[in-house]
Amino acid sequence: MKKTIVCLTFIILFLPGVALSGTIIDYPWRDHAFPFDFQFGNHIDTHQQTRELSNGDLFGFLYITFTGDFTEDGLPIAEHCHEDTPPEECVSGWILRGKPGMATFVFFDGDHPIWLVATRADIPQPGAFAHFHWLGEPETPAGLTIGDEYEGYFIELVAIKKFAFSHAGQIIPVSPGIDIATHVNIVASFPPIE
């Protein structure tokens, strides 16, 4: 894992437009311009820029915008960029790695949708692939069909900044490094779907 992170860091440093400042790696929002031109075909595309690698995996960035507010302990609060976020205010918050897979949609209450894998062995290893995101329609999780299996990507996130992430009414502190707390949405068991 350590070798993978080191290799990815070197790759990032040699991409045009990447800035390095201390522990901050920032690839500017370029609205899916080459080489980060992969799109999921739904709402996540307003805050991700990735490229599909020759082996079918994804590599790229997940983006945030700062709200101007701070937590009580001084962390700047950020949320995902959306279609109206000015490009200069959309900054990379995480390095994203993705591996193709399938999962069954089981639940959504306004947070990240919950996905069921057939077995734990379906979750890619090594790594911390704690998030699943579907490909194509529907545009938002509200349109997903409970009990249907979807093609998509298992996603691992590595935070590159220190901030607090605001999502679905929660404020989650984020520190540089592997992050499963902000986007975890995979389960290996779930009550029977009626």
The pLDDT of residue 139: 97
The pLDDT of residue 192: 82
- C-beta of residue 48 within 8 angstroms of C-beta of residue 92: no
Query: pTM (2 decimals)?
Result: 0.87
Buried b (16+ CB within 10 A) or exposed e, 37-74: ebebebbbbbbbbbebeeeebbbbbbbbbbeeeeeeee
The whole-angstrom separation of Cα 120 and Cα 96 is 21
Residue 175 banded pLDDT, cuts 50, 70, 90: very high
Query: How much is the mean pLDDT over the chain?
Result: 90
Amino acid (1-letter code) at residue 56 = G
Lowest mean pLDDT segment, chosen from 6-10, 31-35, 75-79, 169-173: 6-10
CA atoms within 13 A on the CB side of 78: 27
pLDDT in tens, 73-87: 999 999 999 999 999
What spatial distance separates the first Cα and last Cα of the chain, rounded to whole Å? 40
The whole-angstrom separation of Cα 102 and Cα 89 is 33
For residue 14, pLDDT over 70 is answered with no
User: Where are the alpha helices (H) located in the chain, listed in sequence order?
Assistant: 2-13
Angle at 160 between CA 122 and CA 62, to 5 degrees: 55
Q: Which two tokens stand for residue 172?
A: 């989650």
Q: Which two tokens stand for residue 154?
A: 């298992």
